[in-house]
Amino acid sequence: MITLSRRITALNRGLFAFAKWLIYAIVLLMLWEVLSRYVLSSPTSWAPELATLIFGPFFLLGGPYLLHLGGHVAVDVASAKATGRLAVGLKLVGLVLAAVFGAILLWFSVPLVMQSFSYGETSYSAWNPIIWPAKAFLPLSAVLLMLQALAEAIDVLFEPEAV
């Protein structure tokens, strides 16, 4: 079980390592847009929209690994002082809530992505790219969040001293 936990965390760590570099692509796109607009007097129609489409995966792929790091906003008034079984129980309750959130997100996002794919949905802008690939990161990140919650629960149950 610990091996499964380590593999899930490694997967999310790798996706996080990839996603954090996407911010540089966004910065370069926006820099190009500013130069095109103010230096070349020829603004693009695609750079701001592409930056927006890249921001979704950047944001979503970081969430599951952030759960591992404990970086999410938490109300830890009780859990900061808890020890032993109470600390383990509170950690598990938080992980169950994270998994439930992921399940709800998955439940509602899959039909939206499927509909977007089947319609060939575009952004209806001047550039007009298809947008289902960007939307597909929502259910993917929900699955990754649920898997990371499982991995953290495995760690808590089989290595409770890590809590």
Domain layout of the chain by residue ranges:
2-162
Identify the band that residue 27 occupies on the pLDDT scale cut at 50, 70 and 90: very high
Strand partners, 130: 122
CA geometry: angle at 65 spanning 64 and 71, to 5°? 100
Residue 24 has pLDDT above 90, yes or no: yes
Percentage of residues in the chain having pLDDT higher than 70: 94
Length of the chain counted residue by residue: 163
Count other C-beta atoms under 10 Å from residue 44's C-beta. Answer: 17
For 63-120, the pLDDT digits (tens) are 999 988 887 766 676 677 777 888 888 889 989 999 999 999 999 999 999 999 999 9
Q: Which of 156, 157, 142 is nearest to 12 (CA)?
A: 142
